[in-house]
Amino acid sequence: MSSIPVSDHPQSVFRAHEIVLDSAYQGIDATHWKSLFAQAKEANLDRFIGDLFAGKPVNNSENRPALHSALRNLEKTPVFVDGKDVMPEVAEVWRRIEGLCNKWIGVTDVIHIGIGGSDFGPRLAIEALAHVPDIDSRGMRMHFLANIDTADLNRILQRALPNSTRVVIVSKSFTTLETAKNAKAVVKWLKDNGRTDSQISHALYAVTANVPAAKAFGVDPENIYPFWDWVGGRYSVWSAVGLPIALQYGFDTFKQFLAGAQAMDQHFRTAPLEENLPVIMALSLLYQQQKHQIKSYAVIPYADALDWFPKWLQQLDMESNGKSVDRDGQPVKYSCPVVFGSSGSNAQHSYFQLLHQGTEIIPIDFIAIREPMSHLPEAQEHHRILLSNCLAQAQALANGKKTDNPNNTYPGNRPSNLLILPKLNAYYLGALLALYENRAAALGALWNINSFDQPGVELGKVLAKPIEAALKSGAHVDADAHIDAVTAARINLFNQSL
Ligand code: F6P
């Protein structure tokens, strides 16, 4: 058993806008860092970062830029797509969101309908900011409806007050089945509860890159907030997709959220690679892949407020970089490991056994917040305990413990990062999300993967259609060109009475 060699990179503590990254427990020595930065240079990471922010078509399969950074470009410095500055349109949406916040009165419930990138970002932000002591909140019930499973729909419709509910349909494509079906069901609920067509039209909003489809659904054009095809769904919380943040916590708070992300963009664009937090985090993961062939990594925020963060990150990382071919269609050696996590210290009482003594080495990002998130008399003491657990876990994982009893032996050598946020508010939440977005982009560049498409999600959607038709018919099904023998037998299991 050997303890992890503490990093002898000249520096293992990095800072960006008061966010601290301590990579000492990565065990990366100066020679390895040198070779990692050489790999970054060889992969033209510098050039990629420039291209990303300049609006070059970094999403090469769809020939599009990935310009979510423009959505948090609060100074409105021109950003060009196809020779046109997009900032006036972005700023116009900000103006409309602010206007809406000012007239959003008497609303008790918001039903936000959307899935994947149209759900995780706003849901995470609403949840996280609800934990901020003294935050100015309108106190509306914010309901997030994503799954086609009617359980959530049912639960929400039992709680919401139809006369004072607003519905926001969020879908980049406006063709996503779950969202379309849920939107129809909620409109029907409004009707069934006596709301007139004009009242429904007043209550219905849409956020989309497909404005004609939102109009065709019946949303009043005045209530449609556009975004653009150069914003990926999983990068869209900075657009009007983040509307619930502004509506619940105010437009200034939403702007703070954007400002934190913008500050992290500025750091990612301008800091030398050797001091660049998203790059250091990307390279440390690459190092663990090359050294330990790691297949998964965990992110453990020691904060209940960030309990949704790992779920948001799963889509960001795995939908962006979970690919086995590179930008040129060639097989890759490395791509995105499986990402999982949940808030600590709860996670310690669940799967940390495996992290300490399992056969796999699983690197961890620990995230800690310097300040407690309540003013309760117990806050300081509980927070000390929370932080000491976080630090102790990292130390135990790194150093392990040798005993004569193999069962009680901890192998150690298990790498981790520690990220420290000075506090959790809209600004630092924005900065944290942008840090991981930029890390995902940097990893894509290092692996030579296009991080901005998701072709792998399509096949299942196509196959579901004939299967649904077969389930609907209720008749016995035989395998055919669309349904294989196993699935035909499974459909028959559902269709026959048990
Ligand atoms: O199926 C995956 C996906 O396309 C995600 O990339 C996206 O975030 C989600 O579905 C929802 O898409 P939309 O916003 O178009 O409804």
Q: Whose CA is nearest to atom 10 of ligand 1?
A: 116
Beta bridge partners of 331: 325
> For 260-319, how does the pLDDT look when each residue is reduced to its tens digit (9 = 90+)?
999 999 999 999 999 999 999 999 999 999 999 999 999 999 999 999 999 999 999 999
- What is the whole-number distance in angstroms between the Cα of residue 183 and the centre of ligand 1? 15
* pLDDT value at residue 6: 56
HEC secondary structure over 16-58: ECCEEEECHHHCCCHHHHHHHHHHHHHCCHHHHHHHHHHCCCC
- Measured from the CA of 179, which atom of ligand 1 is nearest? 16
- What is the whole-number distance in angstroms between the Cα of residue 439 and the centre of ligand 1? 21
Q: Which residue has the tokens 């209550």?
A: 203
Among the listed residues 12, 40, 49, 33, the one whose alpha carbon sits nearest the alpha carbon of residue 267: 49
Over 60: is that where the pLDDT of 5 sits?
no
CA gap 280, 282 in Å, rounded: 5
Residue of 174, 228, 452, 454 with the most ligand 1 atoms within 8 Å of its CB, for mutation: 454
> For 305-323, how does the pLDDT look when each residue is reduced to its tens digit (9 = 90+)?
999 999 999 999 999 999 9
- What is the whole-number distance in angstroms between the Cα of residue 68 and the centre of ligand 1? 16
Cβ atoms of 233 and 118 closer than 8 Å: yes
Any atom of ligand 1 within 6 Å of the Cβ of 171? yes
- What is the whole-number distance in angstroms between the Cα of residue 452 and the centre of ligand 1? 12
Any atom of ligand 1 within 6 Å of the Cβ of 173? yes
Within 13 Å of residue 29, how many CA atoms lie on the same side as its CB?
Answer: 4
* pLDDT value at residue 496: 87
Which residue type, as a one-letter code, is found at position 90?
V
- Measured from the CA of 234, which atom of ligand 1 is nearest? 8
Please spell the DSSP secondary structure of 97-151, one letter per residue. Answer: HHHHHHH--S--EEEEE--GGGTHHHHHHHHHHHTSTT------EEEEE--SSHH
Q: Whose CA is nearest to atom 1 of ligand 1?
A: 457
> For 323-371, how does the pLDDT look when each residue is reduced to its tens digit (9 = 90+)?
999 999 999 999 999 999 999 999 999 999 999 999 999 999 999 999 9
Any atom of ligand 1 within 6 Å of the Cβ of 118? yes
Cβ atoms of 453 and 59 closer than 8 Å: yes
Return the active site residues: 319, 349, 461
Residue of 211, 314, 457 with the most ligand 1 atoms within 8 Å of its CB, for mutation: 457
Any atom of ligand 1 within 6 Å of the Cβ of 177? no
- Per-residue tokens: 491: 């459909």
> For 69-98, how does the pLDDT look when each residue is reduced to its tens digit (9 = 90+)?
999 999 999 999 999 999 999 999 999 999
Across 389-404, average pLDDT: 97
* pLDDT value at residue 11: 73
> For 201-241, how does the pLDDT look when each residue is reduced to its tens digit (9 = 90+)?
999 999 999 999 999 999 999 999 999 999 999 999 999 99
Cβ atoms of 257 and 243 closer than 8 Å: no
- Measured from the CA of 173, which atom of ligand 1 is nearest? 15
Any atom of ligand 1 within 6 Å of the Cβ of 176? yes
- Measured from the CA of 209, which atom of ligand 1 is nearest? 15
- What is the whole-number distance in angstroms between the Cα of residue 147 and the centre of ligand 1? 12
Residue of 62, 112, 118 with the most ligand 1 atoms within 8 Å of its CB, for mutation: 118
- What is the whole-number distance in angstroms between the Cα of residue 256 and the centre of ligand 1? 26
- Widest pairwise Cα distance in the chain: 76
* pLDDT value at residue 1: 46
Q: How confident is the model at residue 2 (pLDDT cuts 50, 70, 90)?
A: very low
Over 60: is that where the pLDDT of 10 sits?
no
- Measured from the CA of 458, which atom of ligand 1 is nearest? 1
- What is the whole-number distance in angstroms between the Cα of residue 206 and the centre of ligand 1? 15
Any atom of ligand 1 within 6 Å of the Cβ of 116? yes
The H or E element containing residue 200 is: helix 197-203
CA gap 216, 183 in Å, rounded: 13
- What is the whole-number distance in angstroms between the Cα of residue 78 and the centre of ligand 1? 28
Q: Whose CA is nearest to atom 9 of ligand 1?
A: 116
Any atom of ligand 1 within 6 Å of the Cβ of 38? no
